[in-house]
Structure 1
Amino acid sequence: MKILMVSWEYPPVVVGGLGRHVHHLATELAVAGHEVVVLARRPSGTDSSTHPTHSFIAEGVLVVAVAEDPPCFDFGEDMLAWTLAMGHAMVRAGIALGKPGIGDGWIPDVVHAHDWLVAHPSIALAEYYDVPLVSTIHATEAGRHSGWVAGRVNKQVHSVEWWLANESDALITCSTSMRDEVERLYGPERIPMTVIRNGIDVGAWTFRPRAPRSGPPRLLYVGRLEYEKGVQDAIAALPRIRRAHPGTTLTIAGIGTQFEWLRERARVHRVARAVTFAGQLDHEGLLGWLHGADAILLPSRYEPFGIVALEAAAAGTPLITSTAGGLGEAVIDGVTGASFEPADVDGLVEAVRATLDDPAATQDRAYAARERLTADFAWDVVATETALVYSSAKRRVRNPLGRPKIVERPLPERDPNQPS
């Protein structure tokens, strides 16, 4: 098949797990013999004079990295305007693929959208080429905000997500919990929805058993520094963990909007000296931290899937995770890791204590996690399942859509420690 993927991140522009997901899926589909073109973008803050649209082939995939247009928009301050501008540039580049002498008349059999930020170009290009639109919903605005879309921008993003879901000919989610969430939030009637789990490149994450501990325990968190990731719960639990296992440290690797607030939480709980903020790590740096940690702690309050859990398990790092969303499906408590309910600080403390108290059982669970990965989360399996969705998707007759209904509710009672 000829597959046109549309994603706001793709190497070398990678923001988070979505960029890595699209990259692995695209290259694995190319290995399987499909023609894959990825519409992506140039780095934020650049322009066409310094960073013109650049087309290149990498690992069998044609990547079209689209230049930013001249109007000045900042993603942090003008998110919707920035997104619309990016989409406009992607539409022009996508149409050019079908023109002789530019894209040599290449016409896709299917358009695959990855998340709401590329809804506009994906919908437009699927209509232009009159081919099915398949969309992967990686997360939802309501889910990222504990089920609420109270703010103006939250409502705007939610409405775009609703539009993308209801304009698609087939939908993909990365977990059963995400499928249920999409059905509940967007109610896409009669649109086939398939659960395809994220994959893991096992070869990129060298497995290393835990050596006998010498010194205090080392816990590691990897991910974005956002409220829904629950890092604040790990910090709140650390004093009690240290009473049971003196000297325990927590290293927090990642960047995000809640960095300063989380540093303040460490001071409030009097563990500032035991908490290290390592920033964003490259692959080798992350692998080194994974090999050096006694366990990785992923306390998400909301998590569509949790690719970091797979990467950590592939590296041999014992897993301690919440049961939020996809984490609850990827990690089997007592078999491949230790789990606790989201936002349950007491449960988090007990899961960490149990992991540190019994290194032998913890190592057995790490072996089991690695073994499960190679069978259930291989990228060739993900690519095969995705190709089946493509081949079965049919462009349906479009009916005009009204506005989505956004339920107006008062704000829920807030966690007094949550940043405003």
Structure 2
Amino acid sequence: MSHRNRQPIALISLHADPAAEVVKQDVGGQNVYVRNVGEVLAKLGWQVDMFTRKANHNEPTIVQHSPDCRTIRLSAGPEKFIPKNDLLEYLPEFLEAFLKFQSKEGTNYPLVHTNYWLSGWVGLQLQELRNIQLIHTHHSLGIVKYQAAGYQPPIAETRLAIEKQVLEQANCVVATSPQEQEALRKLVSEIGEIQVISSGTDISNFRLLSKTEARLKLGFDQSENIVLYVGRFDRRKGVETLLQACGNCQAKSQGNFRLVITGGEDPHSESDREEEKIKLLAQELELTENILFTGRLDHDILPFYYAAADVCVVPSYYEPFGLVAIEAMACGTPVVASNVGGLKFTVIPEETGLLVPPHDIDAFSVAIDRILTDDVWARKMRKQASLRVRQNFSWAYVAGQLSDLYRCLLARSIMNEQLWHLHLPTRWSSNVPELEVSAVGSAKLGKVS
């Protein structure tokens, strides 16, 4: 229930549970974003309810994070893990559960912030039924993802239609970088309001640490050249490009070179065993002796790996924001990253790291060698990288900007409601059309009355 004098708001993250244990790396960026933003918004005076789908019948329905912030798990479909591309048919059920919860609690949410296109569909229905202020964050754009992957799954048509509709009909779409804003405008629609508010990281955990002490703690040689990769083993993450680049590095040929790979398979992935392919490639490139596979790491130890590294490489073919680059920079580690998506926003070339074309093995080799062989420059980058994150990517800074946006939208809707409706483009008052759902046979996603 909402506390007196606090405005209740709803954050919807249908497939990514904000209350999931975030210490493990296999919990994705969206869980972390929604949970951290929600907790800080509560500190800023909002009553925050974060809604997700219940994916485990043994887990509590409500998780109280603080007196004014909680996660509410709604039943929609079987209470077990379901791949996100198979969740479409359960969206009307989720919407119904949300409306029932709202009515039972007697809570009115005048503002709803949805995350990812599945939640976006729910938001569009709520906008129709309840006249809410709808804010949406994409986290990943279908059109960009499919272009990078070179193929479209059966769900693609539905996803692209909903992403376009959300952009055109939401009161505001929050892009996490100017590059995402540009992609939305060029590839999705020229209609709709967009504000750029970046994602963030926990700067109390990811912080400047002594490289010497970090290496002592982890048992690394002080004189080693250490290259770090953090993330899932996924074809789109470009780990194979990184291995080939390391095989070509001058630093590797001179000995005393170590590539540390932290992370692992997505536990729910249906793709080929990417880890096996990576280990086979390492053998072919005669890198096996130089590579340390750590597996997934808890977030309390991960900062020491960042701090111990000379350079962190993010070779992704597609990256909407690039949380790993931010975490590395927060720990003072220069980054070599692909010149794609949000990485073009987070990494400042020559100041906090280097950007190179994705897939370009030689360019990655040269960039890694440059940082490994120029100590003075690398030390300067350590300071600049850490400062950039502290100033621009703390959760307090991100949630503060979102809070200002919410207040602005609510004020606009209250103070200028009649005037606003007179000037509303017709697209904002149009009905949300039913969408054929090719992935689930004859099922249709219509409005829930």
Q: Structure 1 length normalisation: TM-score?
A: 0.85
Query: Residue 281 of structure 1 aligns to which amino acid in structure 2?
Result: L
Hey, what does 1:11 align to over in structure 2? 19
Aligned pairs for 1:278-317 within 5 A = 278-317=294-333
**2:262 corresponds to:** 253
Q: Write the distance in 1 (CA, Å) between the matches of 2:254 and 2:93.
A: 54
Question: What does the per-residue CA deviation read over 1:378-405, in whole Å, with 9 as the maximum and x for residues that have no partner?
Answer: 323222321233234458642246799x
1:240 pairs with 2:240:
no
Give distance in 1, aligned partners of 2:37 and 2:222: 40
SS at match of 2:365: helix
Secondary structure of the 1:325 match is: coil
Any residues of structure 2 matched to 1:95-110 within 5 Å, and which?
A: 95-99=99-103, 102-103=104-105, 105-110=106-111
In 2, Cα distance between equivalents of 1:325 and 1:296: 18
Aligned partners of 1:156 and 1:260: how far apart in 2? 33
Check whether the contact 1:210–1:316 (CA below 8 A) recurs between aligned residues.
no
The residue that corresponds to 1:37 in the other structure is 49
Contact conserved, 1:4 with 1:108, CA < 8 A, in 2? yes
Whether 2:138 is the aligned partner of 1:132: answer no
Letter in 2 for 1:356: L
Q: What displacement does 1:266 show?
A: 2.2
Q: CA deviation at 1:73?
A: 7.3
Cα pair distance change 1:332/1:225, threshold 3 Å: same
Give the match for residue 90 of structure 1: 94
Specify which structure has the bigger relative contact order, considering alpha-carbon pairs within 8 angstroms and separated by 6 or more residues. Answer: 2
Give the AA of the match of 2:307: H
Structure 1 residues not aligned, in runs of 5+: 405-420
**Cα 1:107/1:59, change in 2 over 3 Å:** same
Structure-2 separation of matches of 1:298 and 1:335: 16
The offset of 1:367, in angstroms, is: 0.6
Bigger shift: residues 385-394 or 345-354: 385-394
Q: Does 2:154 correspond to 1:152? A: yes
Within 5 Å, give how 1:133-212 maps onto structure 2.
Answer: 133-147=134-148, 148-189=150-191, 191-211=192-212
Distance verdict in 2 for CA 1:278–1:160, change over 3 Å: farther
Counterpart residue type for residue 332 of structure 1: I
Q: How many residues align?
A: 392
Give yes or no for contact 1:139–1:178 (8 Å, CA) kept in 2.
no
After alignment, is 324-333 or 50-59 more displaced? Answer: 50-59
- Secondary structure in structure 2 of the residue aligned to 1:352: helix
Q: Secondary structure at the match of 2:327?
A: helix
User: By how many angstroms is 1:146 displaced?
Assistant: 3.1
In 1, the alpha carbon distance for the partners of 2:262 and 2:276 equals 14
Residues 47-62 of structure 1 correspond to what in structure 2 (within 5 A)? Answer: 47=57, 50-51=58-59, 53-58=61-66, 60-62=68-70
1:124-168 CA-to-partner distances (Å, cap 9, x unmatched) read: 233332212110111112322335553323334333323333332
Contact 1:139 1:304 in 2 (8 A): yes
Tell me: CA distance 1:231–1:64, structure 2 relative to 1, closer, same or farther (3 Å). same
Aligned with 2:255: secondary structure?
A: coil
- Deviation of residue 196 (structure 1)? 0.7
Shift of 1:55: 4.5
Cα RMSD after superposing both structures: 2.6
1:81 aligned partner: 86
